[in-house]
Amino acid sequence: MKEALEQIRTAALDAIAQAENSRAVDDIKVKFLGKKGELTSILKQMGKLSAEERPVIGQLANQIRGELEQSIAAAQQQLKEKQLLAQIKAETLDVTMPGKKFDLGKKHPLTLVMDEIKEIFLGMGFDVVDGPEVELDYYNFEALNIPKNHPARDTQDTFYITENTLLRTQTSPVQIRTMEQRKPPIRVISPGRVFRSDALDATHSPVFHQIEGLVVDKNITMSDLKGTLELFIKKLYGEDSVVRFRPHHFPFTEPSAETDVMCFHCHGKGCRLCKGEGWIEILGAGMVHPKVLENCGIDPEEYSGFAFGMGLERVVMRRFAIDDIRLFFENDKRFLEQF
Ligand code: DAH
């Protein structure tokens, strides 16, 4: 029996020394010291021993039990510390490691130039106003002196939603909304998206951007229009820009003009950029038609005004030598990252 006890001691101490985690140590404890453990079952056989042997074996068994309990506790403590160290090591934060890199967004080229144009007009005392993209026929056409069956409607292929609602084909309806809400003096620009059911190709898109301008006050004349637009174009294209006004027709202005800038590439000689014209058309403009003022409750005897409208995409395409309008709307990062 003494030998059996010594074997248990050796086996248990071996097992403890090899245990890799506290779970394994727990198992060893059960295996040797538990109710059905090896040491316990030996002690149950003590009855068979003689009276002289019993205290000797009993003492040895208790000594081994004590020894094993101590070893187990020490092993548990050691393993706990080991585990803690491993955990600390695993969770250490190396502040010198390079961080994760996030791509920063960039302004869209349309936004870049739009912001520049807004800045120019803000500097001249204009406000920026907004209007709805889903618009009433009344604001998009009727109030702008374009009644039903007016030929001007044919030139603006309209997306109708119902008979009276549509996607605005121009930013000009914001003129009407502004004049309904504000009293002169009025000095606003209104940038935004417009929609026409054009087939998509390199130079046409069913959605594009316009910037509308409107000034209404007492004694506003054609020379105010010319001065303002000339100043604007020189800020946008450079002080040496040459500007010209050509007579034109718009239903909502009288007289009306189209405004060109001398081609900044060939200086009027004619090249690919200006399609041999020497001039590049920038915007439409004119003196607000008295009927339009009347439609908004402004007395044309007392007040006058001028308005203008320009497309944004063409300006941006020439600025950055972009040859396909579709690039603006595809959101290809390789394109957008260039600006
Ligand atoms: N709305 C016109 C268009 O889409 C542009 C325009 C021309 C606006 C003359 C104006 C203007 O305010 O006075 O073609």
In this prediction, residue 58 carries a pLDDT of: 85
Q: What type of residue sits at position 201?
A: D
Query: Rounded to 5 degrees, what are φ and ψ at 250?
Result: -130, 140
In this prediction, residue 67 carries a pLDDT of: 87
Q: How far is CA 322 from CA 17, 33, 199, in A?
A: 76, 85, 19
In which residue are the tokens 């915007």 written?
Answer: 283
Q: How many CB atoms lie within 10 A of CB 192?
A: 19
Mutational pocket test of ligand 1: of 252, 259, 313, the residue with most ligand atoms within 8 Å of the beta carbon? 252
Strands, E, within 140-278: which ranges? 165-167, 186-195, 207-217, 243-250, 253-262
286 Cα nearest atom in ligand 1: 13
In this prediction, residue 217 carries a pLDDT of: 98
- DSSP for 5-65 reads HHHHHHHHHHHHHH--SHHHHHHHHHHHHSTTSHHHHHHHGGGGS-TTHHHHHHHHHHHHH
Answer yes or no: is the C-beta of 284 below 6 A from any ligand 1 atom.
yes
Distance CA 187, CA 76 (A): 83
Q: In whole angstroms, how large is the CA radius of gyration of the chain?
A: 44
In this prediction, residue 44 carries a pLDDT of: 82
pLDDT block averages, 10 residues each, the chain of length 339: 85 88 87 85 82 85 87 88 89 87 90 97 98 97 92 83 95 98 97 94 95 98 97 94 96 97 91 91 97 97 98 94 94 92
Beta bridge partners of 186: 216
Q: How many CB atoms lie within 10 A of CB 32?
A: 23
- Residues 195/329, Cβ–Cβ less than 8 Å: no
Kindly give the distance from the C-alpha atom of residue 284 to the centroid of ligand 1, in angstroms, as a whole number.
Answer: 5
